[in-house]
Amino acid sequence: MRRSPLIATFLIVAAGAPALAEDDELNKGRVIAVQDRDFRMVHEFTLSTGVLPMDAFYTGYSLGGSYTLHFSDLIAWEAVSFHYSANVGSGLESTLAQRWDVAPTNDPEIQYLLGSNLTLTPLFGKLTFFNRAILHAGTFISVGGGVVRFTDGFRPQVSIGPGVRLFWGNVVSTRLELRNIIAPDFPDGLEYILHVMLSVSFNFGKVRAIESDEDVVRDDVDPFAVLDELYPLSKPKPTEQRREEEP
């Protein structure tokens, strides 16, 4: 839920407080203030490309998508994700044949992954690009499970992995994420799958599933105006007006 405008004054200090704490005469306590988030995710549809680089015999290039329902700024549920893998041989088979006259047995390959994940976004903030542009970003971690379809059948899977999201607006954002997947292959053991994904997401809606319309409060306070009011020196009076006021 977005905070009320009353908090705007508090928010103004957010960016500056840590930097000022060491040399500011007002440093008489710990001030923690966090600016309200500019972007608000609700219903997220994602298109992904990726790579599955870990298998020795092939590299998988994935194409897929997902739908994510955001319950709050912190918690979201990636209800369903599907990624198809197009596999390209790594050249290991020919290496084995050339160097040692060995032909490997048939190695099952990944065909697609189907999953569902809980996503936590504990970190949200801003990045500057060469000190010119400002980008909003969030860092998240996904935990979940599902199934992996191999050429010889289905296997269950659990996954965990971090990601980072760059916002280009309230609708479009880009995600880069890693998924570390464990797929048990009974009784032979566990198969580790690394899935690296680059995605573009489209966000729709304003009211989250656990909110009502009244909960969504638009904060239109201009922090510059509040700053000018709090610290008049940051908004100098015009020169002529200053001269007139001087004795």
Partner 1 sequence: MFGVVLVAATSLGSVHAHAAEEPDDRVAIQRRKFLMAHELRLSLGSMPLDAFQKGWTASLSYTMHLNEYVAWEVAHATVALLSSTNLRDTLIATFAVPPEDFAAPRFMLTSGLELTPFYGKQAFLNDEITHQGLFMGAYGGVMFGDRGSFGDTLGDLRPAAGLGIGYRMFLSKLVSVRFDARGFGALRRAVRTNEQVELEAVLFLSLSGSLNLWRDDA
Say how many residues make up the chain. Answer: 247
| Least CB distance to partner 1 at residue 38 (A) | 5
Nearest approach, Cβ of residue 178 and partner 1 (Å): 9
For position 14 contacting partner 1 by CB under 8 A, the verdict is yes
What are the distances in angstroms from CA 57 to CA 32, 87, 107, 191?
Answer: 52, 10, 8, 14
Instruction: Single out the segment in contact with partner 1 by CB under 8 A; choices: 13-21, 78-86, 147-155, 200-208.
Output: 13-21
| Long-range CB pairs of 45-48, under 8 A, 24+ apart, other chains included | 45/201, 45/202, 45/204, 46/81, 46/175, 46/199, 46/200, 46/201, 46/202, 47/199, 47/200, 47/201, 48/81, 48/83, 48/175, 48/197, 48/198, 48/199
Backbone angles phi, psi at 110, to 5 degrees: -75, 135
Tokens of 85: 């893998």
Minimum Å distance from CB 199 to partner 1?
Answer: 17
End-to-end CA distance of the chain: 51
Please tell me whether residue 139 binds partner 1 under the rule CB under 8 A.
Answer: yes
134 near partner 1 (CB under 8 A): yes
Residue type, 159: S
Window 43 to 102, contacts with partner 1 (CB under 8 A): 53-54, 56-57, 73-74, 90, 92, 96, 98-100, 102
127 binds partner 1, rule: CB under 8 A:
yes
CB 104 → partner 1: shortest distance, Å?
8
Between residues 6 and 233, which has the closer beta carbon with respect to partner 1? Answer: 233
Q: Is residue 138 within the footprint of partner 1 (CB under 8 A)?
A: yes
Q: Does 184 bind partner 1 (CB under 8 A)?
A: no
Q: Spell 71-87 as b/e; 16+ CB within 10 A means b.
A: eebeebbbeebbbebeb
* Shortest distance (Å) from residue 117 CB to partner 1: 20
The site for partner 1 (CB under 8 A) is made up of: 11-20, 23-26, 32, 34-35, 38, 53-54, 56-57, 73-74, 90, 92, 96, 98-100, 102, 122-132, 134-139, 164, 194, 222-224, 227, 231, 233-234
